[in-house]
């Protein structure tokens, strides 16, 4: 009888181990969607000139090439996950003052975050923190910033911190594939160069995104 109880005990342990393993999965997701940029303060400083202070309005043109996209890799263990996420977000100033001939970040205010995710009541909630990597294209007072500066002379600059809050839902097509939608807030602070100066801007973007995902289970 003691041996029988011993085998039952081992069976329960193995079953629990198998169940825990089945809950571990690696997900990959890709999205596009619609961002809306809240008008926020922008300060432009240039040598020997007065600062320009305005409330900047930015469009995003999400479906013009290069499109607005989000990709995410998630390692789930039960109902929680650690994630790596990247967002390609574009900004085009819509209310340029006379001194500003061009102010855009069309190759991306790229936001890279580490997220924590929770599956709760059929919804997935996320919070993330990371950095913003920007590729500015600016002409201020007829002075154009060259696009061969920054990291590896590719025109990209580390500009400041970024935060993410989101809530989404997955709709399973099979054990391995699903479609997914999400409402989210991306925010970032960017300190970017201009010719003979710099610009400081805040971006808070409300985003509705739709995508597809794939799961690799029992990792």
Whether 6 maps to a domain, the answer reads no
Whether 119 maps to a domain, the answer reads yes
What residues contact 163, with CB distance under 8 A and at least 6 apart?
113, 127, 128, 129, 186, 187, 188
When pLDDT is cut at 50, 70 and 90, the band that residue 217 belongs to is confident
pLDDT on residue 219: 63
- ∠ CA 148-153-154, nearest 5°, is 75
pLDDT at 96 over 70: yes
Residue with tokens 């970040």: 105
Using DSSP, state whether 23 is helix, strand or coil. Answer: helix
Whether 90 maps to a domain, the answer reads yes
Whether 20 maps to a domain, the answer reads no
pLDDT digits (tens, 9 = 90+) for 68-90: 999 999 999 989 999 999 999 99
Q: What is the CATH number of the domain that holds 208?
A: 2.40.160.20
Number of domains making up the chain: 1
- Per the structure, the complete domain to which residue 151 belongs is given by 25-217
Prediction pTM value: 0.84
pLDDT digits (tens, 9 = 90+) for 112-168: 999 999 999 889 999 999 999 999 999 999 999 999 999 999 999 999 999 999 999
Whether 45 maps to a domain, the answer reads yes
Whether 11 maps to a domain, the answer reads no
Whether 107 maps to a domain, the answer reads yes
Whether 147 maps to a domain, the answer reads yes
pLDDT digits (tens, 9 = 90+) for 190-206: 999 999 999 999 999 99
pLDDT digits (tens, 9 = 90+) for 4-39: 344 344 434 444 444 444 478 999 999 999 999 999
């Amino acid at each position: 009888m003691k041996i029988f109880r011993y085998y039952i005990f081992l069976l329960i342990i193995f079953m629990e181990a198998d169940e825990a393993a089945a809950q571990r999965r690696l997900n990959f997701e890709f999205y596009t969607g619609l961002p809306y940029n809240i008008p926020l303060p922008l300060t432009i400083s240039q040598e020997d000139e007065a600062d320009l202070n305005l409330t900047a309005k930015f469009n995003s043109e999400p479906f013009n090439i290069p499109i607005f996209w989000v990709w995410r890799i998630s390692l789930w263990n039960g109902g929680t996950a650690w994630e790596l996420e990247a967002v390609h977000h574009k900004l085009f100033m819509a209310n340029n003052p006379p001194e500003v001939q061009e102010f855009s970040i069309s190759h991306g205010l790229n936001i890279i975050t580490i997220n924590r995710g929770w599956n709760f009541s059929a919804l997935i909630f996320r919070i993330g923190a990371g950095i913003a990597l920007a590729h500015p294209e600016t002409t201020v007072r007829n002075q154009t910033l060259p696009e061969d500066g920054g990291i590896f002379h590719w025109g990209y600059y580390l500009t400041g911190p970024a935060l993410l809050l989101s809530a989404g839902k997955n709709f399973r097509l099979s054990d391995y594939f699903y479609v997914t939608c999400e409402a989210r807030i991306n925010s970032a602070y960017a300190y970017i160069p201009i010719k003979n100066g710099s610009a400081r801007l805040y971006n808070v973007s409300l985003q509705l995104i739709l995508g597809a995902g794939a799961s690799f289970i029992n990792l």
